[in-house]
Amino acid sequence: MTAITALTNTQIRLASRPVGLPTQDNWRITSEGVSEPGPGGVLVKTHFLSLDPAMRGWMNEGKSYIPPVAIDAVMRASGVGQVIASNNPAFAVGDHVSGGLDVQAYCQIPGDQLKRSGLVKIDRRLGTPTQWLNVLGMPGMTGYFGLMDVGQPKPGETVVVSGAAGAVGQTVGQLAKIKGCRVVGIAGGKAKCDWVVNELGFDACIDYKAGDVKAGLKEHCPKGVDIYFDNVGGEILDAVLTRIGRGARIIICGAISQYNNTTPVKGPANYLSLLVNRARMEGIVVFDYADRYHLAVAEMAAYLLDGRMKSKEDVVSGLEAFPQTLLKLFNGENFGKLVLKVADE
């Protein structure tokens, strides 16, 4: 093995805050040496990084559920990798781990930052590294707790999920099927729609690029929508609001249609449907459920292993590809959970 001090760390840093879609100018690639971890610290070699819509929000200035990424800081990202040096008894060299590794080849985590980084060992028998960033990672946890805790699905109810072929959407739809619900996806393009129906077992999927979402909802949700898991916001949220049933629950997980707006966010004009239908719209932030991740991981890993749940990752190689790869999330190009491969295992 190469000596640690001989390694070079490549990093993607935030150079400026984007207006609208991020461009190459918003990023800067830097290199620096790698040092041995300090007392209680751990050094992780990154294998895969998770690319998420939420990243766009972290690039903005201003208060949100976590602080923005500072200018000149390494871009925040979750990832999986392997411990290559450790001064902490909780982690041994060779351990497979996941946590906040950021967009870089190596992640030096000081002892007092370990908790904050969320670094945990992962059991490779339960899933592949990219599944640990997908169904068993943040998107999976988001889908699980959003659907189960906020949505509270009952057998026979109709669940609609937007971004159906994305990381959160695939988890939500499959989990809702396992829980006995009728599941209707909304996705962009025939390939994605066919996949969620034919491969993942959704009851139907509406191609928002091909036609009228309202008409599709009317056709595929004849009893109305009981749960809507919203990843996109905008016009699709407004369309679903016209089809919700009494006591419906709308989980606000994201609004990818609005993240790169240079005009104000479009609020849901049909929100008074909440009143007419005694319905609820509620936001979810996955970090609130950290003390129950292990329970959700155990359940979802069982579904992966017994074949009731499938996962699809869209893997792009090379740390330097980060800036243009991130854009795939916003133009709808990614098909499955978008993952950046940084190094071979």
Binding status of residue 265 toward a second copy by CB under 8 A: yes
Binding status of residue 20 toward a second copy by CB under 8 A: no
| Residue 81 contacts residue 63 (beta carbons within 8 Å) | no
User: C-beta of 84: minimal distance to a second copy in Å?
Assistant: 36
Binding status of residue 335 toward a second copy by CB under 8 A: no
Binding status of residue 264 toward a second copy by CB under 8 A: yes
How many residues touch a second copy under the rule CB under 8 A: the total is 33
Binding status of residue 270 toward a second copy by CB under 8 A: yes
Return d(Cα 216, Cα 175) in angstroms, integer: 22
Q: Which listed range, 16-24, 34-42, 274-282, 337-345, lies at the site for a second copy (CB under 8 A)?
A: 274-282
**Facing residues of 86 across strands?**
42
**Residues sharing a CB contact under 8 Å with residue 134, sequence separation 6 or more, in sequence order:** 140, 167, 170, 171, 311, 312, 313, 336, 337, 339
* Out of 69, 138, 225, 281, the residue judged to bind a second copy by CB under 8 A: 281
Helix (H) or strand (E) segment spanning residue 338 = strand 337-341
* Out of 254, 300, 309, 325, the residue judged to bind a second copy by CB under 8 A: 254
Q: Please state the φ and ψ torsions of residue 2, each to the nearest 5 degrees.
A: -60, 145
Binding status of residue 71 toward a second copy by CB under 8 A: no
Return d(Cα 332, Cα 136) in angstroms, integer: 23
Binding status of residue 280 toward a second copy by CB under 8 A: yes
Is the CB of 174 or the CB of 231 nearer to a second copy? 231
Binding status of residue 267 toward a second copy by CB under 8 A: yes
The DSSP line for 248-273 is EEEEE---TTTTT-SS-----TTTTH
Binding status of residue 290 toward a second copy by CB under 8 A: no
| Residue 18 contacts residue 75 (beta carbons within 8 Å) | no
Binding status of residue 282 toward a second copy by CB under 8 A: yes
Q: Which two tokens stand for residue 217?
A: 């909802």
Binding status of residue 275 toward a second copy by CB under 8 A: yes
Binding status of residue 151 toward a second copy by CB under 8 A: no
Q: 1: buried, middle or exposed (CB in 10 Å: 19+, 13-18, 0-12)?
A: exposed
Nearest to 168 by CA among 285, 327, 261, 288: 285
Is the CB of 141 or the CB of 204 nearer to a second copy? 141
Return d(Cα 13, Cα 308) in angstroms, integer: 39
Binding status of residue 82 toward a second copy by CB under 8 A: no
User: C-beta of 180: minimal distance to a second copy in Å?
Assistant: 25
Binding status of residue 233 toward a second copy by CB under 8 A: yes
Binding status of residue 277 toward a second copy by CB under 8 A: yes
User: C-beta of 178: minimal distance to a second copy in Å?
Assistant: 25
Q: Which residues of this chain interact with a second copy, rule CB under 8 A?
A: 63-65, 233, 238, 252-255, 258, 264-285, 288
